Chain A
Amino acid sequence: MAEYATPTTEQEFAGNFAQLKPLMSNSEALLESSRCLFCFDAPCIKACPSGIDIPLFIRQINSGNATGAARTIYEANYFGNACGKVCPTEVLCEGSCVYTATGAKPIEIGRLQSHATRKVMDQGKHLFQPGAATGFRVAVVGAGPAGISCACELRKLGHEVEVFEARSQPSGLTLYGVAPYKITNEETLAEMAYLEAQFGFQVHYNHLISTRADLEKLENEYDAIFLGIGLGHTSALGLPGEERENCVGAVEFIEQLRIRQEQTAVGRKVVVLGGGNTAMDAASESARLGAERVVLAYRRGKEEMGAYEFEYDLAKGVGVQGLFNVAPLEILGNGKVEGVKFVRTAVLNGQVQPVPGSEFVEPCDMVIKATGQAKQTSFLHLIPELQLDGKGRIVFNPGTGQTTNPRYFAAGDAANGGAEVVNAAADGKAAAHGIHTFLTR
């Protein structure tokens, strides 16, 4: 039974994808900020990958200095508003708030963070300006959290920055990947516009850097190059029938969802393959688009899923059904998807083994593969001396972002193999300092 009717209008879409962390009113922010204990050496700060001084900004909100709060946040993290909404706070700052040990609710750090940053955005209050020009020029490839954060910090340090972005809009997977109930397109883009207005970097949209010639041009025209290219498409599973119509990759499905919103087509019976956070998102999103039945199929047991517990709870909460210890054998159908043939699995000596004779068919009219994103290895191989590790991640110095080609720096999903927006934002910014040291040493 579907919990959600298929949305047909913008309002219905907004209703089905209602924000999990809606904007806090002033009264709510006052109440919540009043609860913060202002811990010494606060554990929440340590749990934040961008190291925001959380007790400080909460106290600033509490004392009626929301602008100061926003400055504290943005000084540590240029995606301050987005992070407040999209971060898995349950396992980061809020998860380590001392209140959790009392049995009381942790401080709603994420929502307070978005509250303060939204205020300065709405008021158009500029907090930063570009530094005195150094004459150095840096090319940033990719306008995702890593690229934009690096660009902002480079501008602050006085370097000229040009960003090359394959897509037509900035913020990478914040706009094209994150679930719509975490952040709206409007909110994401408002923060990007706010940053661009302050730092004045150039973004060349619809500008894919893909060939050796493209790279050579960058190498000739710029003093350093930053790679914030993220990951690639959903990896292929290598199953028979994978090419059938309505068998799609999760990342591609979600990208459509973020662009087309209520016009996104979803099956009536959807099978999602995978056990990570993207699988949970795709399953939730299918349900909210009005699919009658959504089955989440995972090769191992429930406890072994890579997804955060709260993400699975969220999916369960909208009616998604878990199907565990099953492996897909074939996508069945006649042109279009009609079902998935599974075999049950058992774990023997840590290895997932098929149980012979246990095959069955789960009928469906859509399959979403949430089985991981491929790395952009063939593109990266075009860069001389750039080393990738065994998993296709760019080898880099985590303190400086520098790669094995000294003029190339990297951060974000392309370097860490896929983490969160906050990691990309923090590391992109750190890389700007690495570049600065490299250029000015």
Chain B
Amino acid sequence: MPDLSINFAGIKSPNPFWLASAPPTNSGYQVMKAFDAGWGGAVWKTLGVPVVNVSSRYGSVNYRDKRMMGFNNIELISDRPLADNLREIEEVKKRFPHHAVIASLMVQSRQEWHDIVRDVTNAGSDGIELNFGCPHGMCERGMGSAVGQEPEVLQTIVEWVMEVARIPVIVKLTPNISDITEPALAARRGGANAISLINTIQSIVGVDLDLFAPYPIVDGKGSNGGYCGPAVKPIALNMVKNCAQHPDVRLPISGIGGIETWRDAVEHILLGASSVQVCTAAMHYGFGIIREMTSGLEQYMTEKGFHTIDDMVGRALPNVKHWEDLNLQYKVTASINPDKCIGCQLCYTACEDGAHQAIRLQPGTRTPEIIDENCVGCNLCSLVCPVEQCITMERRDDGTQHQTWKERTAADDIPTTFNDERAGGRHHWVPEPAAALGKEKEKTLPGKARLYTPEPEKQVVNE
């Protein structure tokens, strides 16, 4: 049995799954319930200054019938009294001494930071997370992302905190910045013990077409909110990777953003996270999802022969390269398995209109055919095909050649003009522009629309 427990910058927890600082960690009641259900840790809903919230507060991006692909909120930090929160932290820690309780904090002055750090430490917190991320409501008051976007201010505040901190300090980064490693480096310079990312992304999830107002709507008006949920995972993964690969950051990373299943968590871990945090998925499905997450992670580790989480952390990092380091000699082309094909012809229309005209239709069957010499190996067809493993990308080079753009540049072997022979090999044939006109119109003009074209009788015979 693999060991799921972690020691994250000195914070121990029975598994790497923490609830992110958000509504699911708003009260002792919720955190106890989550620990009871199997969560390893919880970052308490951010504590700090008194706030008021609006209603409504959340908006969603739905994809077809799938709800909350993306999610946003215009909520602020905890609107419950600090004393109540401290008392509940204490109670939770008494009942769950081996689970991780991390207090998320956001205040303004040096004195306030000192006071609150002491308060949560005295309450028994295992660690502190500094919320420099909230992209709405708090930044207007000089907190949240207003801090996260200014590396120098961030560093100063981290320094204030470190003056009194006796437990590990995590700095939570905002993604609303062009280079995530800048605030990460500032956190390190300030003496932080770890970083967590990402917080929510500034967003408008949609506009009400009748009220002409952005969601969520508060009395006919709206505001930009913070975006999260499955849709943000790719952005989070990239930022986690950037911090993990940066030679000077060298801090443990708590990965956050779009984690809903064990797979999402493993991806964050393979790119350098050593704990993961979850918000939207718990808000959508409740705490019960933890069972799928831990069992999936355990199964994966068993199959891969990983004994501890540390065995996996950053395992994909060596394979994340700059474009110029990729092998230009590697060549794949698409291959259709006719036994699996169901004849939707999505691959055909995708390649024809959206890629390289490398798929043709064949008479007598709905299964299209790849035109090998036109296929540039872009993957599009295999991505749109609705049947698992029906279109596969097959390797065509013999695997003996390896040459990158960087190597070619060094060897002065890069094309300098368009007709340069060295630019060859990746070109492909394109049809004459005018050949597009009217092409397959009868297939895109539905049904009886064909009947009413000028030669009705001829058309009918064809049917």
Contacts and interface: CB of A to CB of B under 8 A. Distances in A.
B460 A51 contact: no
B317 interface: no
Interface stretch (A283-291, A378-386, A397-405): A397-405
B300 to A, nearest CB: 28
A62 B66 CA distance: 12
| Residue of A31, A99, A399 with most chain B CB atoms under a 10 A cut-off | A399
B452 A41 contact: no
Interface residues of B, number: 27
B138 to A, nearest CB: 35
A219 interface: no
A41 B345 contact: yes
B451 interface: yes
A98 B65 CA distance: 20
Contact of A52 (B64, B345, B444, B447): B447
A101 B457 CA distance: 33
A39 B344 CA distance: 5
A53 interface: yes
Contacts of B448: 50-51, 76, 426, 429-430
Interface in A391-441: 397-400, 426, 429-430, 433
B345 A45 contact: no
B387 interface: yes
Contacts of A38: 346
Contacts of B8: none
A276 interface: no
Interface in B341-360: 342-346, 348-349
A34 to B, nearest CB: 4
Given A51-B448, A400-B457, A430-B451, A37 B346 contact: yes
Nearest to A39: B344
Interface string A235-274: 0000000000000000000000000000000000000000
Contacts of A62: 64
A116 interface: no
Interface in B95-136: none
A30 interface: yes
Interface in B424-463: 440, 443-444, 446-452, 456-457, 459-460
A48 B447 CA distance: 8
Contacts of B344: 37, 39-40, 98
Interface string A47-63: 01011111010000010
Interface string B163-206: 00000000000000000000000000000000000000000000
Interface bracket on A = 20 to 34
Contacts of B386: 37, 102
Interface in B368-388: 386-387
Nearest to A36: B64
A180 to B, nearest CB: 29
Contacts of B449: 51, 53, 76
B447 A39 contact: no
Contact of B346 (A40, A43, A54, A430): A40
Contacts of A37: 344, 346, 386
Contact of B444 (A31, A41, A99): A41
A45 B65 contact: no
B408 interface: no
| Residue of B65, B344, B443 with most chain A CB atoms under a 10 A cut-off | B344
Interface in B285-301: none
B422 interface: no
Contacts of B33: none
B366 interface: yes
A411 B451 CA distance: 15
Contacts of A40: 344-346, 348-349, 443-444
11 contacts: A34-B65, A43-B343, A43-B366, A53-B446, A53-B447, A53-B449, A101-B343, A397-B457, A399-B451, A399-B460, A433-B456
Given A41-B440, A101-B342, 10 more contacts: A31-B65, A38-B346, A39-B346, A51-B447, A98-B342, A102-B342, A397-B457, A399-B457, A430-B451, A433-B452
